[in-house]
Amino acid sequence: MGDIAQKAKSVYLRLIENDTELIHLRKLIESGKASYEAAQKYSERAGQLAKKAISQVSKGDLTVTQAVLNPILEANYQDVMTVASQAQNVIYEAAKVNLKPATVSYDNTCVDSISSKFDNYDNVDDALNVAENLFISASQNYVDEIGRRSAKFMDESGINVLVSREYDDVGIHTTDKGGSEVCQWCLDRCGVDIPYDEAYDMGMFERHPGCGCVITYRTKRGVVIQGKGDWETNKWSRNESADRISMAEAMKYKAEYKEKVSRELRKIVGARVNDTEIKKISRHFYDQAYNRKMNPFDITDAIKHSLKIGDIKVNKNGKSSFQIIGKNATVYLNPDNGTITTVHKTHTKLVEKLMKRKDYESKT
């Protein structure tokens, strides 16, 4: 697997070298105009490209994916550390702080966290997509840790440091970057200056997957690490927009949706499709149904009144499934164990084609 690991690293390095956003951020740092926010944005984008590189190299093969995971994450670590150290030097020089950039060791625990996702999904690319925030968090963590350690050095050197957080660059911090689920826990820690020695107890350094908060360190000399510092323009209260909901409300809505889907799908458990009895529904199915905003009734309608039953196909990991195409939903069923694995909306053009064929067949 040595050759495939080297190929994977080469693919990742080519992606980061040619990415327009990363080119801009590198030039910003090299010009001496960088903030730690630039380094953090770099780490976020680099994390996304690490996942993309793995997907391109593995092509859905689980064995290859597991073989290249660690080499690519190590390459991501080395790249992000280089950029973060460069940014730190620029910031120290501007703030006239005579310190060397902090160093951080490679964290291989992120490999286990990402690998565990593969156990829950039949499709490797689906698992990688779900794990994208873990790639980003692993990459961000190096920048965060360099900043935290640098602030610690300053604080121990007698330079009083205050720690703040601010929302990400979309103005609202969201757990999914989509603007629909707002993390009140993060919002409660934004817009306040906390002495460094109290910041741990306040949770100022903590992140959840998908967190885009910018952590800012200030001294009497000004901002030395990260941040825009304009809290008034970034602040947001829960009542400003009725269509934005809290994390607790979002989780409650998701639980209610899953229960609604479960009630509807109980009607088709035990039904047979192509001699395969439907025995259970996978957790991945519920996640995909929720993310794709599927109507539960469209799912059962596809089972009961299918327009077409596809042939059995086997993926690169040896798992079988066939499509059950309905008017508004396409369901995937594993014939080996009777598990409904995933679902998506049926394309309009395909429905029109199948309906015409069905109409023709009924007339002949």
What average pLDDT does the segment 304-319 reach?
86
Decide if 148 contacts 205 (C-beta within 8 A).
Answer: yes
Number of alpha helices (DSSP H) and beta strands (DSSP E) in the chain: 14, 14
The pLDDT value recorded for residue 235 is: 29
Whole-angstrom Cα Rg for the chain: 25
Residue 179 clears pLDDT 70, i.e. is over it: no
Residue 222, judged by CB atoms within 10 A of its CB (0-12, 13-18, 19+), counts as exposed
**What is the model's pLDDT at position 35?**
64
Which of residues 237 and 12 earns the better pLDDT score?
12
The Cα–Cα gap between 200 and 106 comes to: 22
Beta-bridge partners for 308? 325
Which band of pLDDT confidence, cut at 50, 70 and 90, is reported for residue 361?
Answer: low
Which residues are 309's β-sheet partners?
A: 324
Please provide residue 328's backbone torsions phi and psi, each rounded to the nearest 5 degrees.
-120, -5
Residue 333, pLDDT score: 94
**Greatest alpha-carbon span in the chain:** 89
SS3 for 55? helix
Per-residue pLDDT tens for 66-77?
Answer: 888 889 999 999
Q: Which helix (H) or strand (E) holds 143?
A: helix 132-156
Among 104-118, 224-238, 295-309, name the one with the lowest average pLDDT: 224-238
Count the neighbouring beta carbons within 10 Å of the beta carbon of residue 131: 23
Helices 62-95 & 36-58, crossing angle to 10 degrees?
Answer: 170
pLDDT at 323 (0 to 100): 93
Give CA–CA dist 31/90, Å, rounded: 9
Residue-level pLDDT at 174: 41
Phi/psi for 209 (5° steps) reads -55, 130
**SS3 state of residue 237:** coil
| DSSP codes of every residue in 67-87 | HHHHHHHHHHHHHHHHHHHHH
Closest CA to 67 of 130, 140, 141, 6: 6
3-state SS, residue 277? strand
Question: Containing H/E element for 108?
Answer: none
- Please say whether the beta carbons of 286 and 261 come within 8 A: yes
pTM as predicted: 0.53
Helix (H) or strand (E) holding 147: helix 132-156
Q: Which residues fall within 8 angstroms of residue 48, CB to CB, at 6 or more apart?
A: 132, 135, 136
The yes-or-no verdict on residue 340 having pLDDT over 80 is yes
State how far the alpha carbon of 328 is from the alpha carbons of 101, 285, 294, in Å.
Answer: 56, 16, 9
Q: What is the pLDDT of residues 232-281, one digit of tens each?
A: 222 222 233 333 333 344 456 667 777 888 888 888 899 999 899 999 98
Residue 205 φ then ψ, to 5°: -100, -5
Judged against a pLDDT cut of 50, whether residue 327 lies above it is answered with: yes
Secondary element (H or E) of residue 145 = helix 132-156
Q: What is the mean pLDDT of the chain?
A: 76
Q: How far apart are CA 128 and CA 54, in angstroms?
A: 9
